[in-house]
A and B are shown apart, each in its own frame.
Chain A
Amino acid sequence: MGDHWKIGNVEFRSRLLLGTGKFADLDVQSQAVAASETEILTFAVRRLDLDRPQAENFLDRLDLQRFTLLPNTAGAYSAEEAVRIARLARATGLCDMIKVEVIGDPRTLLPDPIQTLEASRQLVEEGFIVLAYTSDDPILAKRLQEVGVHAVMPGASPIGSGQGILNEHYLRFIIEEAQVPVIIDAGIGSPADAARAMELGADGVLLNTAVALAEDPVKMAEAMKWAVLAGRQGYLAGRIPKKRYASASSPTEGMIE
């Protein structure tokens, strides 16, 4: 179709990014990944369970050639921890993209703006392709771009909350001013939320819980695929303005008498 986009120097066709957490089992997870037609998968870096060292890992199910792996720094509460996790992820040799996620509070899981900015600055310097999970604060989004992040990822609402977009106005400020791709990440609940994000002009949507904890994750993954496509096409098509008064759809002349 031709509506490709780039993060750093990597080009993508799909604008739906998928998180891999919270799935009931590896079967559902891999089916949902396939149904979503995503090209970018996020995941976390954690200790191997030494009581079950040979347990099947979700990576074993994936054709790694088909996906761009986007590890996150989830678990970090400081820039230092985030940088440490990022370096560990890169040491696999599988990826040099990193989702900077530095949380400020465990109940709200809202990003810590100061630690996020510092982690992003350091990781950009170390040559990572940095996608920064941030709040819907337009000034912070600007500062993140000033330190060189390759994408900003403002949250729609708290992680896993399914509330959809809480502040369209600020997201639109971010999108209008952005010099890098804007991916709306966190809080998406329904396909309508994902479509709305794309209609606002976002370059992509990242979601996880909305699919993983849906009653039928595979069906929802497919719905989200269509929602992102529909929202993007609607944005490119140019919607009609909202009017206070009606404007007839059928002609007013030629009526029989």
Chain B
Amino acid sequence: MQLFVNGKEVVLSGIQTVQDLLAHYHLQQKIVVVEKNKEIVERILFDTTGLSDGDRIEIVHFVGGG
């Protein structure tokens, strides 16, 4: 499957859901927020939200800032 994740094109296999994508990056325990095609995916729906070819995903978190 071809996805755009944080602005980069990636080709991944075996990924069906947002949860799968986060597991691929070992992010299951991290505090992150996911946007799929500009819509926020609720945390409780990570494992039921499917991904399709061409989806644009943003995975964001909190960083130091003023």
**Could you tell me which A residues sit within 8 Å of B by CB distance?**
19-23, 29, 42-48, 50, 53-54, 57-59, 69, 71-72, 74, 84, 87-89, 91-94, 159-160, 186, 206, 208-209
Whether B6 contacts A50 by the Cβ 8 Å rule is: yes
Question: Per a CB cutoff under 8 Å, which of A19, A57, A74 touches B30?
Answer: A57
The CA-CA distance from A29 to B32 in the complex, in Å, is 21
Whether B31 contacts A21 by the Cβ 8 Å rule is: no
Sorting the interface of chain B by its residue count into under 10, 10 to 19, 20 to 34 or 35 or more gives: 20 to 34
Complex contacts, A89 vs chain B, CB 8 Å: 33, 62
Whether A48 contacts B27 by the Cβ 8 Å rule is: yes
Whether A53 contacts B25 by the Cβ 8 Å rule is: yes
Question: Per a CB cutoff under 8 Å, which of A21, A46, A57 touches B66?
Answer: A21
Query: At the interface, yes or no: B1 with Cβ under 8 Å from chain A?
Result: no
Complex contacts, A69 vs chain B, CB 8 Å: 62
Whether A20 contacts B65 by the Cβ 8 Å rule is: yes
- What are 13 A-B interface contacts by the 8 Å CB criterion? A19-B65, A19-B66, A43-B65, A46-B60, A48-B25, A50-B6, A53-B30, A84-B38, A88-B33, A88-B60, A91-B33, A206-B66, A208-B66
Q: Decide yes or no: A29 and B40 within 8 Å by CB, A47-B6, A92-B31 being known contacts.
A: no
Query: At the interface, yes or no: B58 with Cβ under 8 Å from chain A?
Result: yes
A53 to B, closest residue via Cβ: B25
Complex contacts, A48 vs chain B, CB 8 Å: 6, 25, 27, 30, 32, 59-61
The CA-CA distance from A20 to B65 in the complex, in Å, is 5
Between B27, B42, B65, the greatest number of chain A beta carbons within 10 A of the residue's beta carbon is seen for B65
Within residues 2 to 23 of chain B, which ones have a CB less than 8 A from any CB in chain A?
Answer: 5-8
The CA-CA distance from A47 to B27 in the complex, in Å, is 13
